[in-house]
Structure 1
């Protein structure tokens, strides 16, 4: 490596600054430059907003760029750093993983300075940007092939104080759903790294595979609500209406029963929609085996009373592939 990761400008400079986070070159590619926006208005909360961790989730980069347009006039205190695209090679290729090395950026944190391209990006973000913030908004969407509502997700946090702060911050977005997702233990996630350092980490998600005007407007308004809750922007938070549903609810998942996986390979047809309430035995979807025309279709049924948090859009799935996520009201 010819250099260490670095910013091309001084974060402590008052006002608006624009530059790059330089990720050093390695054996697999030249140096990468991640455009960075900083607005420093003195004392107050320190917020990092990131998008484009996964290259086929474009809502985050779009919303991040929208924020840059109006924040200079709206922000009243503190410092906000925005990185619209954490993984430029993946976004340019419209792939979830980095095409250079095939790795998922959100599974390699804190990264390695001497690693492959994805690991070097994670290392630069972990060493240069993460220490500057006490709160992180990591803007995601669920990517093509899923129907997923606008939802703020977080995983259970061992520290009850940090868990309570995280839930309050997530609910402040006033998105249709706040989901405490008991996700399988997965090393290398950005949120786990931040939360282990005592930071509040919020991850908005949106699914459906299409970058729609309604969803983008609500996504941006939800982030604005979060900025208001932090005290970085003045104004009144708005309750948001999405697909004619104006309820706001906090849900949690049970890892053992709420993640449904395909029992066979074939084409999955959803038979319910996100935010639907289902009871035990209700039809979630139908799987059509394609290896034989004589094979019976397979019904995928709800294991219990729950709410559909996300469901796979009609697509070909393999055995054991994730097809639906269920939840229930959060037990506080």
Structure 2
């Protein structure tokens, strides 16, 4: 069972660890120690901020660490709980999956109290942290496998009031694009568990790859703070795209499995358009080159709809079945 030494009901700032029991060959009574910070003052919402759901996604982890250092009780109206590197073993190993049990934390919910380390973390969130939270912020990027046009994103939840609150919070990130997405790779997602508990859930895909440009860090930090202002968790004046002198966010969606283009063969992937480019149905948006048969014409990857190229595979070397491109259609915000 996960051990917590913080008093979540106490005002002020506390920094400690969530301790997950774990035995290994050289440690019979060891713990995985996950850093956690709480900052609380007065009446207001409880916001749970998490990075590192996937260990190789560092943009959110850095933004969350900075937030944990900078926040003081005087800045907060309510309670903010920050876990910068949620899947801590994976973050230390720079891997998507936990090296301790091979599990994907984002496919492990609701978890088990006496399961593997990953399952115990999921269970603690499901049974302790989500129930006490009003807002859940899950910071993602593409990690080493994917590159995204930087965006805040969300699911289209059935509850219309919950959906509208999530939509407004997503837009408060002030990214050029926002993205409505579907689950095509299984169940057990962290955001879905929080959504099912009725929480206002905000998620992101802030670029990807191993190198993180400075402007991505800026989007992560400024967007996170603006969303916290938007939901009433910290003091400050909320910024909008208009107040920043920017055009409205382009809202896109990829809700059909055909929007997610998978590699039909293994080979070397070549993308044909820059991220954020609008492509037409029938365009060749990428190629798979055949290493063993360079004399063969490459396999063409065809857009099945008109929309924006939101995502591309980051490593060129590609296996059959890998997602290599996502094309998302523009949608009218008023239709939601």
Please give the TM-score of this superposition, normalised by the length of structure 1: 0.92
- Alpha-carbon distance in structure 2 between the residues aligned to 1:146 and 1:192: 21
1:81 positional shift:
0.4
Specify the alignment match of 1:11 in structure 2: 8
* Alpha-carbon distance in 1 for matches of 2:284, 2:185: 29
Give 1:194 deviation, angstroms. 0.7
State the Cα RMSD in Å: 2.0
Deviation at 1:14, TM superposition (A): 0.8
Distance 1:26 1:157, change over 3 A: farther
Corresponding residue number in structure 1 for 2:104: 104
Check whether the contact 1:49–1:83 (CA below 8 A) recurs between aligned residues.
yes
How many residues align? The count is: 326
1:142 counterpart SS class:
coil
User: Secondary structure in 2 aligned to 1:257?
Assistant: helix
Aligned to 1:141: 141
Q: Distance in 1 between matches of 2:17 and 2:95?
A: 22
Relative distance call for 1:27 and 1:144 in structure 2 (3 A) is: closer
Output the CA distance in 2 between the equivalents of 1:27 and 1:198: 38
Q: Which stretches in structure 1 are left out of the alignment for 5+ residues? A: none
Match of 1:229 in 2: 230
Query: Within 5 A, what are the aligned runs for 1:55-74?
Result: 55-72=55-72
Partner of 2:193: 193
Choose 112-121 or 93-102, whichever is displaced more: 112-121
Does structure 2 retain, via aligned residues, the 8 Å contact 1:270–1:313? no
Residue matched to 1:167: 167
Cα offset, 1:197, TM superposition: 0.6
Displacement after TM superposition at 1:27 (Å): 7.4
Equivalent runs, 1:111-260 vs 2, <5 Å:
111-184=111-184, 186-209=186-209, 210-238=211-239, 248-260=249-261
Q: Residue 169 of structure 2: SS of its match in structure 1? A: helix
Instruction: Give the C-alpha shift of residue 305 in structure 1.
Output: 1.4
Range with bigger deviation, 38-47 or 285-294: 285-294
Is 2:276 aligned against 1:275?
A: yes
* Cα distance in 2, alignment partners of residues 144 and 106 from structure 1: 16
Query: Tell me, what secondary structure is at the counterpart of 1:79?
Result: strand
Q: Is the 8 A contact 2:307 2:328 kept in 1?
A: yes
* Structure 2: gaps of 5 or more residues: none
The alpha-carbon distance between structure 1 residues 60 and 81, as it changes in their structure 2 partners (threshold 3 A), is same
Distance 1:208 1:97 in 2: 16
